[in-house]
Chains A and B, each alone.
Chain A
Amino acid sequence: MTIRGKAYIAGIYEHPTRKAPDKSLAQLHAEIAIGAVADAGLTMADVDGFFCDNDAPGLGPISMVEYLGLNVRHVDTTETGGSAPIVHISHAAQAIASGKCSVALITLAGRPRSAGVSANPPPNWDVPELPFEYPYRSSVLNQYAMVAMRHMHEYGTTPEQLAWVKVAASHHAQHNPHAMLREVVSVENVLQSPMIADPLHRLDCCVVSDGGGAIVVVSPEIARSLSRPLIKVRGAGEAIRDLRGGKANILESGGARSGAIAFEEAGVTPADIKYASVYDSFTITVIVQLEDLGFCEKGQGGRFVSDGQLISGIGRLPVNTDGGGLCNNHPGNRGGMTKVLEAVRQLRGEAHPAVQVQGCDLAVAHGTGGWLASRHGSATVILERE
């Protein structure tokens, strides 16, 4: 069995806020939910499946189903960090294909900017690796920086090549009125920003923002009854990449597996892709994932992204045309949701005219959740405009 063609993305909504001190987390979830359902041309009463991850307040889906006033017959709270919303699309398609629901609502929201990024929860000492990482202050930052350092060592990737990912994001973000960073930056600007964790400069890092987004996935019958463009789920893959007892290749992300699974299911290759949303928590994240998804040979990611090759209308592969996490937003410190939203806009022809890819009929959205060097969840979805 395959999910290919069994489900469609009918509604999307991205919260315009980037700082929400005046809103509760549950309220953000509700606003994006209502927005996405309305975008699909449906009502909240039509929703019969609900998907969220740990960014939603409460135990799994329980509190939010009540808050949203939903009447659902299917729930899924798969947690794979920032890649979770992309996993949810696959799981929603599976649920729809097997008749468990027909209108699946996926929400992701967060307010780390208002709440303060230092508001870390107390350590859960049942997590088996934690005693072996906590004393060394393992963090998202150093677990991505160490991949960048090794990538430079092994493949000759340069700080300038890393910077090109940010430069491309800024070229796109200048057209997005909601983006946090709209100023176009140069390679030199990135290299001159303060070093945070070698070799990553401040501008190699994504923004911290409040906000969120929601997606409505529906059955083919419902999709055809609506007036929205038909955005078909063509293939999906998911993977967990961990340290394998200390024997893992930290330069290979879970995208190597999740991407291969998704492309096989979709029956297409990276050469067929017109637009790619690739999780950009840091510049290195994009380079590693583009390699692992098969857009270039392993180790060639730095060369692949250089000289504006990710800029829409200029480069060989337009990536993150909303400005991505590097410039636009990163709600809840989880980038998977916004990756899907911009891919859908591109397929609908609803991206900003300055960044809209002409004839965009096939797109990929890919996310990595967790820590690039140590362990993370990866998810890939391939979407097609019919």
Chain B
Amino acid sequence: MEEAVKMPAPKLNAENQEYWDAARRGVLLVKRCADCGEAHHYPRAICPFCHSGSTEWEEVAGTGVIHTYTIMRREQPSTITAYVALDQGPIMLTNIVGCEPETVRIGMPVQVCFADAEDGLRVPVFRPR
């Protein structure tokens, strides 16, 4: 049996290292601003809403619904690219795994899981719940 293809890994920097360290432990983080209270994704050191430098990592359950998706038919096997709307609010780009592409629907409830990537990293992806 062929080994599962690992996902491409990003190169990390000081601003996003903690997100990827948490993903390696199977934890999804979002950034929330301590001043205005808004959560955002992708995570930034500076809040994109009020420009405060007091953004904090917040561990989330990783539940949400599929906001939109597409099936990339030319990839073998087909990948499902999606935006998932986290229960905390922001939408995040991801892949949907663990189901037949034809069963995916907008509004489908999903749960985060973590796929192996190159360089020993793990990447948050979502499966139906």
A183: interface (CB < 8 Å): no
Tell me the chain B residues, 65-101 only, with Cβ under 8 Å from chain A: 67-75, 79, 81-83, 86, 89-95
Chain A residue at minimal CB-CB distance from B125: A136
From A129, A131, A147, A153, contact of B106 by CB (8 A): A153
A135 with B92, Cβ < 8 A, contacts A129-B42, A245-B41 known: no
Q: Is the CB of B8 within 8 A of A142?
A: no
With A131-B13, A137-B72, A245-B40 already in contact, 7 other A-B pairs whose C-beta atoms are closer than 8 Å: A132-B42, A136-B81, A136-B123, A137-B81, A146-B82, A150-B106, A197-B81
Tell me the chain A residues, 95-154 only, with Cβ under 8 Å from chain B: 123, 125-126, 128-138, 141-142, 145-150, 153
Q: Is the CB of A244 within 8 A of B48?
A: yes
Chain B residue at minimal CB-CB distance from A133: B93
Which A residues are in CB contact (< 8 Å) with B106? 149-150, 153
Question: Least Cβ distance of B104 to chain A in Å?
Answer: 9
From B10, B71, B79, contact of A134 by CB (8 A): B10
Which B residues are in CB contact (< 8 Å) with A130? 10
A and B contact pairs by CB, cutoff 8 A, 24 listed: A123-B11, A125-B10, A125-B11, A128-B42, A129-B42, A132-B10, A132-B16, A132-B42, A134-B8, A134-B10, A135-B9, A137-B79, A138-B81, A150-B106, A153-B68, A194-B73, A195-B73, A197-B73, A245-B44, A245-B49, A246-B41, A246-B86, A247-B89, A373-B68
A146 to B80, CA, bound (A): 10
Residue of B12, B70, B81 most packed against chain A (CB within 10 A):
B70
A196: interface (CB < 8 Å): yes
B21: interface (CB < 8 Å): no
A135 with B81, Cβ < 8 A, contacts A145-B70, A149-B69 known: no
Which B residues are in CB contact (< 8 Å) with A253? none
Residue of A130, A195, A196, A247 most packed against chain B (CB within 10 A):
A247
From A128, A134, A245, contact of B90 by CB (8 A): A245
A132 with B48, Cβ < 8 A, contacts A142-B70, A197-B70, A250-B83 known: no
Which residues of B are at the interface with A, using a C-beta cutoff of 8 A? Answer: 7-13, 15-16, 20, 38-42, 44, 48-49, 67-75, 79, 81-83, 86, 89-95, 106-107, 117, 123, 125
From A132, A197, A248, contact of B72 by CB (8 A): A197
A314: interface (CB < 8 Å): no
Which B residues are in CB contact (< 8 Å) with A243? 91
A176: interface (CB < 8 Å): no
Question: Least Cβ distance of B37 to chain A in Å?
Answer: 13
Q: Is the CB of A146 within 8 A of B81?
A: yes
Q: Which 7 A-B pairs have the closest CB atoms?
A: A246-B90, A245-B40, A131-B10, A145-B70, A150-B68, A132-B42, A142-B81
Residue of B40, B42, B107, B123 most packed against chain A (CB within 10 A):
B42
Q: Is the CB of A198 within 8 A of B38?
A: no
A321: interface (CB < 8 Å): no
Chain B residue at minimal CB-CB distance from A151: B68
Which residues of A are at the interface with B, using a C-beta cutoff of 8 A? Answer: 123, 125-126, 128-138, 141-142, 145-150, 153, 194-200, 243-248, 250, 373-374
Which B residues are in CB contact (< 8 Å) with A135? 7-10, 117, 123
A250 to B94, CA, bound (A): 15
Question: Least Cβ distance of B44 to chain A in Å?
Answer: 7
A244 to B15, CA, bound (A): 18
Q: Is the CB of A198 within 8 A of B70?
A: yes
A245 to B42, CA, bound (A): 6
Question: Least Cβ distance of A284 to chain B in Å?
Answer: 11
A246 with B91, Cβ < 8 A, contacts A132-B42, A138-B81 known: yes
Question: Least Cβ distance of A35 to chain B in Å?
Answer: 37
Q: Is the CB of A147 within 8 A of B68?
A: yes
A351 to B73, CA, bound (A): 38
A246 with B70, Cβ < 8 A, contacts A137-B79, A138-B81, A373-B83 known: no
Chain A residue at minimal CB-CB distance from B17: A131
Which B residues are in CB contact (< 8 Å) with A197? 70-73, 81
Which A residues are in CB contact (< 8 Å) with B12? 131
From A129, A136, A149, A373, contact of B94 by CB (8 A): A136
From A196, A200, A246, contact of B89 by CB (8 A): A246
Q: Is the CB of B10 within 8 A of A246?
A: no
Q: Is the CB of A142 within 8 A of B83?
A: no
A136 to B80, CA, bound (A): 9
Q: Is the CB of A132 within 8 A of B41?
A: yes
Q: Is the CB of A138 within 8 A of B16?
A: no
Chain B residue at minimal CB-CB distance from A149: B68
A200 to B95, CA, bound (A): 18
Which A residues are in CB contact (< 8 Å) with B92? 132, 246
Chain A residue at minimal CB-CB distance from B10: A131
